[in-house]
Chains A and B, each alone.
Chain A
Amino acid sequence: MYGMIHRALRQMVLDERGEEVWSSIQRTANVGLSDFISSATYPDEVTQRLLSTSSEVLGQDSGKMLEQFGQFWIRYAEASSFASILAFTGQDLVSFISNLDRMHRTIEDVMINARMPSFSVLAHDVGQIRVEYRSTRTGLAPFVSGLFLGLLERFNLNGSVSLISEDSKKSIFVIHYE
């Protein structure tokens, strides 16, 4: 994965647990500053190691941590130079999720090593969106749940996210909001 993901994870731990906890994660996962170059790609195994070490050191269930990290990523992007990309992706929840693929596809042209996800809005109704998520990776469903929770927060909506089906190719989520 691109180093920007590593930077975000590091920022989450630093914000929530401080420098010492992060140093110990870094030591245990055997990573150094050179693993945090945003525009460089690293084997998924490094990202995985960082994530699993973080959940071990923080004493958190790995799914829970991934979800929390997804939610954090939206806040992190909002506070960084990615903010304008978020704004450009959509100005309301439905447009945003409908436009996610276009945003990722376009970015893929500069970040040529990325393995982008695919999101499609299957149906939307008042207070409810049904979204399909496809990926070449597995195990990221909790991360996606967290991302959607982060989006609810971004659009000032109260709501919840449920994963209603999951197989090796796709996961289906329903986002309920008031």
Chain B
Amino acid sequence: MNEHQRNIIFPANICVDADFKILSIGPVAPRLIHGLKSGGYLFDYVACGHPNDEDYLSSVSGSDKLVRFEPKGAGSAVVGWVVPSESGYILAVRISPDKFFLDGSSLQISDFAPGDPYVHGLLMFTMQRAMIEEQKALTIELSVSRQKTENLLSRFSRIAGFMAHDFNNFLSIIRLNCDRLANDLAEDERLLRLIDIIRSTAARGSAITRSLMTLSNQREDTSLPVPIDQLIGENVAFLSAAAGARVTVAVDLRAPGARVLASPTGLLNCVVNLLINARDAMPSGGTISIKTFPKAHSATDHDIGVADNGHFIVLQIVDSGTGMSEEVLARAFEPLFSTKATGNGLGLASVRDFALALGGDARILSEQSSGTTVELVLPVWSRTEDPTTNRFSDVGQDATGMGDPAPVKILVVDDEPYALEALVELLGAAGFEVTACTSAKAAEAELAVRTFNVLLTDIVLKNESGTDLAKLAASRDPDLNVLLMSGYVPIDDQLDPKWSFVRKPINTQALIETIRSL
């Protein structure tokens, strides 16, 4: 091996004669053992830690014994073999870093022979550390960004809720005034038909606003016994809007009355998530069916992770799209797995988490090219489980209470003057004695001087609360019938179960019948 070859393989080599005088050194040697020069005496620069280093080196020369040379001055230790040569010895040494850290060291790659595994070790280790550092930074960024998104979403959803509420009030005014017009135009068939169109369009708009209010207004963690068929039935207009214009939403609900203890918003979100997935699987349109049916599940049912014996309700979203391949199907519930360019893959995973949290499960039945069915199996809530019932009775829009018309005195409170005006006229025409107030304060003044049979008040009043007014009025007069109205469905525990509730936009006929039935 000539000097050039030696310098490549052992860039820190040192050649000495039989008296340990330095004959030549590799290019890296002086960087490691500072001050090392040809012509000097080896043991002026390094020591091997033996009583007689000269004898020791001679004794190990040609053996496979690794010798460590510590610098006497500044520098790094080197390790290697002592190889006998014609003129003396070659110290075939290389640097021996003490640790796998590069920080602060003055070493560089070319201080090591090509292929020296130490270089690999050092770089891998350092690279790994760098990646972990970057990963840590990313984790922090992700959590900050998630917090930001959540704040934004909650603000946005509150604003959407307020807007939907106000919008619903306007629809209510349109509807009430349609009723007024219809009373005046009882003879004119054509105009009555036009009024009907306006009224039913307002009703469709208000079905969508109500879904928006439900989604934006209720907390995800409020669990109620939710009648699934009713929830889906009431939100069909909204769900159809979410599915888009190219898709027909067909509803086949066969679990009437069955309830699931869940957050209505959470359930609705699940259905919306699944609808959006289904819609995306059908770029050129098609049909999505939402189906429910009861199912008795037993512990031997291994096809789905629901272990308990008991009654379940199955909620299926069936699309007529392209279906999923086996690989996609196998990974579909993984968080962050998505086949969409812009997807974040959280849809199906979060739906399954939701179902699991309720003691149910979710699964996908799909065949490539013949559509996908996502199935949620949810435990049916039985009355003995939890008394968190909605004690408050919602008489809804289609109440059919019957009763003889009686001279009833009604105090109507609504901060929307147009709505109030319409209510006064319509209730007056139905034979009630109506007093109108645009604020809770004015109503309190009326209640202080007169007696009423019914208090009909909006729940949300400008800077005031209809519920507070109702409480005050009921405490003064226990015989007073309280009828609250709102676009929101109240779920407040503080509401008195004796009170009744009508939803805006108000169906005049149903309202009149409710008042008569009180």
Chain A interface (Cβ < 8 Å from any Cβ of B):
4, 7, 30, 32-34, 36-39, 80-82, 84-85, 87-91, 95, 98-99, 102-103, 106-107, 109-111
Residues of A within 8 A of B129 (CB): 81
Residue from A32, A39, A98, A106 in contact with B119 in the complex, judged by beta carbons closer than 8 Å: A106
CB distance from A82 to the nearest CB of B (A): 5
User: Which residue, B106, B109, B336, has most C-beta atoms of chain A within 10 A?
Assistant: B109
B325 CB-CB contact with A under 8 Å: no
A98: which B residues are within 8 A, CB to CB? 110
B135 A106 Cβ-Cβ under 8 A: no
Tell me if B138 and A36 are in contact (CB < 8 A).
yes
Cβ–Cβ < 8 Å partners of A84 in chain B? 101-103, 105, 126
B109 near A102: Cβ-Cβ < 8 Å: yes
B44 in the interface (beta carbon within 8 A): no
Which residues of A lie under 8 Å from residue B119 when comparing CB positions? 102, 106
Contact B123 A80 (CB under 8 A): no
| B342 contacts partner chain A, Cβ-Cβ < 8 Å | yes
Alpha-carbon distance between A148 and B474 when the two chains are bound, in angstroms: 83
Which residues of A sit under 8 angstroms from B408, Cβ to Cβ? none
Cβ-defined contact, A106 with B108, below 8 A: no
Say yes or no: B124 contacts A39, CB within 8 Å: no
Give A91 to B129 CA distance when docked, in angstroms: 21
Assess A106 versus B120: contact at CB under 8 Å? Given A4-B134, A38-B138, A84-B126.
yes
Instruction: Please determine whether B130 and A81 come into contact, CB atoms closer than 8 angstroms.
Output: yes
- Contact B108–A81 (Cβ < 8 Å): no
Whether B126 pairs with A88 at a CB distance below 8 angstroms is yes
* B145 at the A interface (CB under 8 A): yes
Question: What separation, in Å, do the CA atoms of A93 and B329 have in the docked complex?
Answer: 54
Minimum C-beta distance from A84 to chain B (A)? 4
| Shortest Cβ distance from residue B26 to the other chain A in the assembled complex, whole angstroms | 15
Main secondary structure of the interface of B (DSSP, over half): helix
Q: A37-B135, A84-B103, A85-B130 are in contact. Are A107 and B123 (CB under 8 A)?
A: yes
Q: Which of A7, A36, A81, A99 counts the most B-chain CB atoms under 10 A from its CB? A: A81
Q: Can you sample 26 A-B contacts with CB below 8 Å?
A: A4-B134, A33-B141, A33-B142, A37-B138, A38-B131, A38-B135, A39-B134, A39-B135, A81-B126, A81-B133, A85-B102, A85-B126, A87-B106, A88-B107, A88-B109, A88-B123, A88-B126, A98-B110, A102-B109, A102-B110, A103-B123, A106-B120, A106-B124, A107-B123, A110-B127, A111-B127
Given A82-B130, A85-B123, A106-B124, list of 20 further CB < 8 A pairs?
Answer: A34-B336, A39-B131, A81-B126, A81-B130, A84-B103, A87-B105, A88-B122, A88-B123, A89-B109, A90-B110, A99-B110, A102-B109, A102-B114, A102-B119, A103-B123, A106-B109, A109-B120, A110-B127, A110-B128, A111-B127
Q: Give the residues in chain A near B128, CB-CB below 8 Å.
A: 110
Once the chains bind, are B127 and A89 in contact (CB under 8 Å)? no
**3 tightest CB-CB pairs across the interface, nearest first?**
A81-B130, A84-B102, A38-B134
Taking CB atoms and an 8 Å cut-off, the chain B residues in 86-145 that contact chain A are: 101-103, 105-110, 114, 119-120, 122-124, 126-131, 133-135, 138, 141-142, 145
